[in-house]
Amino acid sequence: MAAEDFDPDNTGYISTEKFRSLLQRHGSELDPHKLEVLLALADSNSEGRICYQDFVNLMSNKRSNSFRQAILQGNRRLCSKALLEETGLSLSQRLIRHVAYETLPREIDRKWYYDSYTCCPPPWFMITITIVEVAFFLYNGVVLDRFVLQVSHPLYLKNALLYHPQLRAQAWRYLTYIFMHAGIEHLGLNVVLQLLVGVPLEMVHGAARISFVYFAGVVAGSLAVSVADMRAPVVGSSGGVYALVSAHLANIVMNWSGMKCQFKLLRMAVALICMSFEFGRAVWLRFHPSAYPPCPHPSFMAHLGGVMVGITLGVIILRNYEQRLQDQTLWWIFLSIYVIFVLFAIFWNIFAYSLLDLKLPPPP
């Protein structure tokens, strides 16, 4: 199909009449949900024409922001039965449908995801990061001969991965601390949350966006500790986990009427209880008498850093399924705030410790 067949004057638009004739001829070749979206697009435009590039993007499984707005503001509502009411689906199709209802607030997005998802690539990022975290924990458990409250072992701080204020010049520690956990009780809850929440989010939004939110939360967590709890080390993946979970919960609240996941109020309550329990454990451990004085136990500030990333950058990403983030004003605002915070924390780490004449615990 050539562009000149439908846009002979090269105006960049297709008339609604030609567009409808195209649908009548080729509608049987399209997925039913995609055909429904095309019909909605045809009926939503009051000017009698449709952007040709929007049509091309649609056929290649891409959607511009203008296309999405044309559908959402259109006069015709999608009138076929909801995706949830469809029967005769295979196990994999029911799983994809379940993920769509868990993460997306609009029926048109759920149908689009259902038709477009191919499981290629699979949600490799969250699974890989979880396996690596578990592997490091088991290795440390064997080396220290301890799996519960590993953090209380006198040799725990000698690990080259965790963040320690005396070794803050070793930049890799601001990331690699996620592979060290205080104990199996710390690791277990983080792993459960990042798999239950992170894997469905990655299936919908892709590894690039979800890994960005995760690592942005991780970096914000360690930098928050270096600024607000300057004498404490930090361990665990809570910064990344709390970024993902906070973004997901905030997205549900902001789109409450559109989110159709079952028992959403109960599940939100359970998630908040689990997060509060983990945060309370971290606060208790931070102020519990240290096993290696004068260095305190790991800080809890990483949790708060992750939450701040989740309710800012994370929400913008989750609210813009398959949309160009660079077209969103709020994206640039929150990204700028994040970059400013990172730069401030870097300068703080370089100059503030000496200016404040802070007495830090000795290096491990």
Residue 184 pairs in a beta bridge with none
How is residue 27 written in tokens? 């509608």
| Beta carbons of 244 and 201 less than 8 angstroms apart | yes
| Beta carbons of 337 and 244 less than 8 angstroms apart | no
Instruction: Using DSSP, state whether 163 is helix, strand or coil.
Output: strand
Measured at the alpha carbon of residue 143, what is the angle toward residues 286 and 281, in degrees to the nearest 5? 20
| Beta carbons of 49 and 13 less than 8 angstroms apart | yes
Give Cα 212 distance to the centre of its chain: 7
| Beta carbons of 214 and 244 less than 8 angstroms apart | yes
* Size (the chain), residues: 364
Q: How many angstroms separate the CA atoms of 256 and 252, rounded?
A: 5
| Catalytic positions | 238, 303
Dihedral over alpha carbons 131, 220, 246, 68 (to 10 degrees): -100
| Beta carbons of 108 and 33 less than 8 angstroms apart | no
- Which residues, including other chains, have CB under 8 Å from residue 105's CB and lie 6 or more apart? 251, 255, 258, 259
